[in-house]
Amino acid sequence: MIEGLQSFQNVFKIPELKRRLLFTAGLLVAYRLGAHVPTPGIDGHALAQFFDQMQQGLLGMVDLFSGGNLRRLSIFALGIMPYISASIILQLLTVVIPTLERLAKEGEAGRKKITQYTRYGTVVLSAIQALGIAYGLERMPTPTGASIVPHPGWGFRLLTMITLTAGTSLIMWIGEQISEKGIGNGISMIIFAGIVVRLPSAIVASYTLITTGEMKLFVFGALCALMLAVTAAVVLMQEGQRKIPVQYARRVVGRRVYGGQSTHIPLRINTAGVIPVIFASSLILFPATLTNFMPHPWMRAIADALSPGRFSYTLLYMGLIVFFAYFYTAIVFNPIDLADNMKKYGGFIPGVRPGKKTAEYIDHVLTRITLPGALFLATISVLPDFLIRWFNVPFYFGGTSLLIVVGVALDTVRQMESHLLMRNYEGFLKRSRSRSGAFGRA
């Protein structure tokens, strides 16, 4: 406990890290303040009634990722999902369009160009989604028959489209600023903040269920134990690695001897982190949100099929998570480049030929260890459906939110660790402390 407090105090001894933390906290506070600015032309009471009726369905899932902004229809109601959808589209197009593929290989200049295209795509997707939501809200009655939009028409639609698109653009800017000047991945941090801010209401909802007798105390205790077990499993899978041994041959250059040492390549079981869950959720929510607000019968059928709890939704969601786990891993990890670099510096895997055979071996191992990681992500992500159906628990106690919260927290702590260890401060994790101690003794 004392060591943990000492490590936490070390954070504020580094001016740059302290500045990054305060900058991140300031932007997250600004994001949460904007979540309480309502979109004009909406009857807030009628909208709340409508969401109380739909909270266990698709809109409840969308509201989770928007941090409760959709329920209030604030200026941030669309959340960061249009940006994620645009990023997915650009990454998929990079694989099939040679021009984008060349841009991706041009380094920093190409990356900036692709980021600019992603911003344009975000604005277009936001405008389409906002217009669809405006149309849908004009036709959506509440359980009491009241109208959510007192004065419908093109004035309301255009105002809503401009307001929500501007809100998403501002969130996108906040996320990019956090990634560049703060701590952690900005987009993930925004989703993280939206989920964590719902914790007090989830605790109150659980207490209400226990006091009214709708949930037994024993069941609540079992759920808490299950959450701890799932959290431990998430940490284990996020930190799990397969270490491939690497040997470097000795080279004599002048009077100096280089190489002759043994090391390893750490291949993570879950290389993509929580990105597959965020990507899959975004991809399945974008069309489902539009169909949910359109009155046509076949659109309603699609919205029902894509609602949480349905077998078609569960199957599609799990399949997308597995697909994006492999897809994102293939983007961020290139076995061919790694094998070429090893060959250049005289490194080899014992029993494997350098060059092409090494790349094939690494790719084979990575493919095999990614499968259990992807299946674990998919299984944990559909956990809320079973908890809601069997135990009537608040939606917050779900795998998707838990995965994102734990994953983002681990990534953020890892970044803070790197800042601390670079300046010879003791970190948070025991593993890092022992490693830094070994370096110090050496």
| First vs last C-alpha separation in the chain | 28
Which of the listed residues 136, 163, 197 is the one where a domain comes to its end?
A: 197
Q: What is the pLDDT of residue 351?
A: 84
Amino acid type, 171: I
Amino acid type, 105: K
What is the Cα–Cα distance from 12 to 420, expressed in whole angstroms? 10
* Whether 112 and 100 share a structural domain: yes
Q: How far is Cα of residue 176 from the mean position of the Cα atoms in its chain?
A: 14
* Whether 226 and 190 share a structural domain: no
* Whether 188 and 288 share a structural domain: no
| Domain assignment of residue 350, yes or no | yes
Could you tell me if 270 and 411 are in contact, meaning their C-beta atoms sit under 8 angstroms apart? Answer: no
Q: Provide the b/e sequence for 291-329 (b: ≥16 CB within 10 Å).
A: bbbbeeeeeeebbbebbbebeebbebbbebbbbbbbbbb
Domain that holds residue 375: 200-442
Residue positions counted in the chain = 442
* Whether 88 and 182 share a structural domain: yes
What is the Cα–Cα distance from 111 to 103, expressed in whole angstroms? 7
Angle at 147 between CA 73 and CA 306, to 5 degrees: 60
| Domain assignment of residue 11, yes or no | no
| Domain assignment of residue 4, yes or no | no
| Domain assignment of residue 108, yes or no | yes
* Whether 277 and 310 share a structural domain: yes
* Whether 181 and 51 share a structural domain: yes
Q: How many C-beta atoms lie closer than 10 Å to residue 430's C-beta?
A: 9
Which of the listed residues 181, 197, 213 is the one where a domain comes to its end?
A: 197
Could you tell me if 248 and 260 are in contact, meaning their C-beta atoms sit under 8 angstroms apart? Answer: yes
* Whether 161 and 277 share a structural domain: no
| Domain assignment of residue 12, yes or no | no
* Whether 104 and 247 share a structural domain: no
| Domain assignment of residue 372, yes or no | yes
Which residues are bridge partners to 262 per DSSP? 247
Which of the listed residues 180, 197, 214 is the one where a domain comes to its end?
A: 197
The tokens describing 62, both together, are 């969308």
* Whether 218 and 367 share a structural domain: yes
Q: What is the pLDDT of residue 432?
A: 41
Local structure of 427: helix, strand or coil: coil
Indicate which CATH number applies to the domain containing 280: 1.10.3370.10
What is the Cα–Cα distance from 65 to 400, expressed in whole angstroms? 10
* Whether 290 and 169 share a structural domain: no
φ, ψ at 269 (rounded to 5°): -65, -35
| Domain assignment of residue 235, yes or no | yes
Q: What is the DSSP string of 172-199?
A: HHHHHHHHHHSSS-HHHHHHHHHHHTTH
* Whether 191 and 260 share a structural domain: no
Averaged pLDDT in 10-residue chunks for the chain of 442 residues: 55 79 89 84 73 56 59 79 82 80 78 88 88 77 69 84 91 90 84 78 76 76 79 81 82 62 83 80 68 63 70 84 88 84 81 86 90 87 68 55 77 78 60 40 36
Could you tell me if 141 and 294 are in contact, meaning their C-beta atoms sit under 8 angstroms apart? Answer: no
Name the domain count of the chain: 2
Q: What is the pLDDT of residue 403?
A: 74
* Whether 275 and 395 share a structural domain: yes
What's the pLDDT tens digit per position in 2-17?
Answer: 444 555 666 777 788 8
**Residue that is written with structure tokens 């998929």 in the block:** 92
| Domain assignment of residue 274, yes or no | yes
Angle at 408 between CA 403 and CA 412, to 5 degrees: 155
